[in-house]
Chains A and B, each alone.
Chain A
Amino acid sequence: MCALCGVLGGSDHWTDSAARPGVFTRNTDSFSRRRERMLRVTQANHILKHFGMSLSDWQGASYLLSTVTGKTEIVDNLTHLWVEAEKLSGRVCDPLDTGLIERMERLHG
């Protein structure tokens, strides 16, 4: 575990950095790793709000996905997030859904 950022091991999800040469290495240091996680949580929440859910960071290692009624699941990465979001909300989280797209378009004008 990194004593400074509290990250246990490293995620090898494609949206994160990976410890092999040449791979996208945006998050090689703890500060940018933390910052990236914050950005991810902030942005994901704009979408999850549409489904009555929210996301928060948990110790820089996982995320907590919660419904407005308090049902909560731990998720590891963004791929895992959408699987759990559909289970928890009982709704289809489809980025091609016209209603969701229109909401996103309204959000940023």
Chain B
Amino acid sequence: MAELIPDFTPVNLLTGFLGSGKTTLLQRLLADDDFADCAVLINEFGEVGLDHHLLERIDDTMVLLQSGCLCCTIRGELSDAIKDLHEKRARGEVPAFRRLVIESTGLADPFPILSTIHSDPVLKHHFRLGNVITTVDAVNILAQLALQEESVKQIAVSDRLILTKTDLADAETVVHALERIRAINPAAPLWRGAEEKVPAWALISFDDSQITASHIGVFDEKRGHSHDHGHHHHDKNRHDAHIRAFALTFDQALDWTAFGIWLTMLLNRHGNDILRVKGILDVMGSEVPVAVHGVQHLVHPPVHMSAWPDEKRQSRIVFIVRGLDPMQIERSLRAFSGLGEMTPARVA
């Protein structure tokens, strides 16, 4: 059995606001071969019992967290539940699952969940973060974004988006919903759940914190007006009013040491307002690009990509920020990048 268990079991967070169709999606996914050998964690809160009964496949590898919202009990119960699953798997008491899906409550801030997997002293040696999958309710998302900050974060940190209930909304509402979603998260692949079959494999592909060429490509096309994201919305009471996404490109190779100093310093001071950093870097001394991926204060281990996504060898970094000035971030990174040039001992 041991050889069946991956060194680092991927963990996918399935999130989305109340009533956005998380459980329906999960039911569908669990029936798919790509989600075979998958354990599921669900937490109880409000909709709970419902979730519990709706899910058809409740077996030994499903754990129901009893004590409420994941984001409140994160350090204890979620961590304990995953460790418990891990131990039972090691002892052969549950099937050797190769993937773990956590379905959060609709009201949960996704960051503490991601942080637990990433930082728990035991979990980080056995599990790794996979894609965050977010369901978005086309009918209600505009109201939710205005009222609930969690819904903004759920979209911002998402790697895969599923727009649900598009069959229940008129075309104009769907267009507005898409505009808002893309202003918050311009790069994550998106499917319309009601109109197209969501391919299970695509939700979990490239989930090793990798960045596909298409992610960056999609964003680059929008770069001309990317700095304007967020300026369209003047209602200061909206939770998403100050969220903006933008991309920076650098033609000169970046100094890894300087970049690390800059990003750690930036996240220390502004981590709460940097919902997402994702990019491919042309790093001095490296022939292949390095992918970096961060969510608020949490930065994934950088990954060497196998090749450049296209003929352009340049660093491209996408930021999703709240209330920060993109121009100042760019100016700061350029200024810090000069640190490498001031280091005579640099050996490429």
Judge if A2 is at the interface, Cβ distance under 8 Å. no
A18 to B262, CA, bound (A): 20
**Chain A interface mostly:** helix
* Chain B count of residues within 8 A CB distance of the other chain: 44
Q: Check if A12 sits within 8 Å of B124, measured CB to CB.
A: yes
Give the nearest-CB partner of A23 in chain B: B301
Q: Check if B301 sits within 8 Å of A79, measured CB to CB.
A: no
A98 to B7, CA, bound (A): 45
CB interface residues, A 27-76, toward B, < 8 Å: 35-36, 38-40, 42-44, 46-47
Set B297, B304, B329: member contacting A25, Cβ < 8 A = B304
CB interface residues, B 289-348, toward A, < 8 Å: 290, 297, 299-304, 324-325, 328-329, 331-332, 335-336, 338-343, 345-347
A104 touching B328 in the complex, CB below 8 Å, given contacts A39-B257, A78-B264, A95-B265: no
Residues of B within 8 A of A104 (CB): 335-336, 338-339
Judge if B208 is at the interface, Cβ distance under 8 Å. yes
A96 touching B264 in the complex, CB below 8 Å, given contacts A23-B302, A35-B347: no
A43 touching B8 in the complex, CB below 8 Å, given contacts A14-B300, A26-B285, A108-B341: no
A15 to B260, CA, bound (A): 6
Residues of B within 8 A of A98 (CB): 328
A95 touching B332 in the complex, CB below 8 Å, given contacts A14-B299, A42-B345: yes
A22 touching B303 in the complex, CB below 8 Å, given contacts A15-B264, A38-B345: yes
Q: Check if B301 sits within 8 Å of A18, measured CB to CB.
A: yes
A24 touching B303 in the complex, CB below 8 Å, given contacts A93-B269, A96-B266, A101-B331: yes
A43 touching B267 in the complex, CB below 8 Å, given contacts A22-B303, A35-B345, A78-B261: no
Residues of A within 8 A of B98 (CB): none
Q: Check if B257 sits within 8 Å of A43, measured CB to CB.
A: yes
Judge if A107 is at the interface, Cβ distance under 8 Å. yes
Q: Check if B264 sits within 8 Å of A82, measured CB to CB.
A: yes
Residues of A within 8 A of B303 (CB): 22-24
A105 to B270, CA, bound (A): 21
Residues of B within 8 A of A47 (CB): 261, 265, 336, 339
Residues of B within 8 A of A39 (CB): 257, 343, 345-346
A96 touching B347 in the complex, CB below 8 Å, given contacts A40-B260, A46-B342, A108-B341: no
Residues of B within 8 A of A107 (CB): 338, 342
Instruction: List 14 contacting pairs A-B, 8 Å CB cutoff, sorted by A.
Output: A14-B302, A20-B7, A24-B302, A26-B286, A42-B345, A43-B258, A43-B343, A47-B261, A79-B297, A82-B264, A95-B269, A101-B328, A101-B335, A108-B338
Beyond A35-B347, A43-B261, A93-B268, 17 additional pairs, beta carbon < 8 A:
A15-B260, A20-B7, A23-B303, A36-B257, A42-B343, A42-B345, A43-B257, A47-B261, A82-B265, A93-B265, A95-B262, A95-B265, A95-B336, A96-B329, A96-B332, A104-B336, A108-B341
Residues of A within 8 A of B (CB): 12, 14-15, 18, 20, 22-26, 35-36, 38-40, 42-44, 46-47, 77-79, 81-83, 86, 92-96, 98, 101, 104-105, 107-108
